[in-house]
Amino acid sequence: MTAAAGGRIVELREISLPLVAPFRTSFGVQTSRRILLARAELDGVQGWGECVAGDEPTYSAEFVDGAALVIRAELLPRLSAQGAVAAGSVSDVLAGVKGHAMAKAALEMALLDAELRATGRSFAAHLGATRTRIPSGVSVGIHPTLDDLLGAVSRYVAEGYARIKLKIEPGWDLEPVAAVRALIGPDLPLQVDANTAYTRDDIDHLCRLDAFDLLLVEQPLPEDDLLGHAQLAARSATPVCLDETIVSVTSAADAIELGACEVVNIKPGRVGGYLTARRIHDLCVDRGVPAWCGGMLETGIGRAANAGLAALDGFTLPGDISASARFWERDIVVGPITVTDGQIAVPTGPGFGFEVDLDVLDEVTTWVERLT
Ligand code: NPG
């Protein structure tokens, strides 16, 4: 890919998609998602980017309306001032704007997709990734009752998922985890995710999760509590994984060095794009730290891209890359992502390897803004 062959962002669009079932985490319940998409063009070739910011700023500071605003008011003017921009230059061109990683990532993604399509290369090939299939993990929300949870987990096990992740929060942790471990037996990998719901006062309590042979406990404490995570990691047998804390290569390197992070969840949107995600992957390989690819309720666009990224060898644990049908009745891509024998096929088509279903896309679009 030549750096000079840059494209332009030509469209912003918001869609609204209902979830197949409510998804509850420690930071809220979702029943549908508003999703911001960016379209790029390069020599008549289209590329798409998906912004993973949620409807509300409850997972991180970013949210859909804020992302749309910062893209229009700050990011696009900086990109336009350059004329055409290569995806590899986006993070430098936008570095003067603090934060807004998810908004920046969506623009870089659209430009990268267009560039790769223009040269006929797949994202996985561009990365040098060789895996053709990746294991698929499923994330299971907090349920109203234990019976409901066990019913949901049983269905995912029957669908063949290679790993189960349970959302936890104070009051919904040891008991559901024990019940699910008893249901699935000792061999199916199980992990938990608290999305910052605990404090340092809960370290003794969190150590009781050691009884359940978990792959990891993800982001139990607030994102800025590196010391607390290091204290927990020193005490608990269950590896501590960070998600919300890891917003850059530097934050990942520091968290690893300080003993606060024994496993890294790599989410391209949270770190400012797929190119930075790749650098964090390389850091993890260099430090011998296991990594996996997180999910943010993406459509088939982001899901295909995550599958390409997760084809890299350093993603040693199953990612949160489940079937489109896990969240969506109808995805906006032709040929939604499916899970077979617990695995997802790494896309081989040009770019991120999805094909947008333009009819479905138009049906679910709430607004479109053409920029040329
Ligand atoms: O499979 O896409 C998926 C969802 C995985 O649980 C998941 N994501 O905290 O990691 C998380 C959580 C999330 C979803 C976070 C949406 C933010 C937004």
Given the CA of residue 321, which atom of ligand 1 is nearest to it? 1
Cβ atoms 48, 38 nearer than 8 A: yes
Ligand 1 centroid to Cα of residue 371, in Å, is 31
Query: Quick check: pTM over 0.75?
Result: yes
Distance 156 CA to ligand 1 centre (A): 16
Q: Whose CA is nearest to atom 17 of ligand 1?
A: 296
**Span 278-294, pLDDT tens digits:** 999 999 999 999 999 99
CA distance 93 to 77: 11
295 lines ligand 1 (CB under 6 A): yes
Each domain of the chain, given as residue ranges in start order, spans: 8-120, 124-355
Please state, for a pLDDT cut of 70, what percent of the chain lies above it: 99
Any atom of ligand 1 within 6 Å of the Cβ of 306: no
pLDDT above 90 (res 5)? no
Q: What is the pLDDT of residues 326-362, one digit of tens each?
A: 999 999 999 999 999 999 999 999 999 999 999 999 9
What's the mean pLDDT in 303-313?
A: 98
Beta bridge partners of 172: 169
The CATH number corresponding to 124-355 among 3.20.20.120, 3.40.190.10, 3.40.640.10, 3.40.50.300 equals: 3.20.20.120
Residue 357 beta carbon below 6 angstroms from any ligand 1 atom? no
Chain-wide mean pLDDT for the chain? 97
What's the CATH superfamily of 8-120?
Answer: Enolase-like, N-terminal domain (3.30.390.10)
- Whether 104 sits among the annotated catalytic residues: the reply is no
Is residue 26 pLDDT above 80, yes or no? yes
Q: Is there an atom of ligand 1 within 6 Å of 320 CB?
A: yes
Distance of CA 342 to the CA centre of its chain: 19
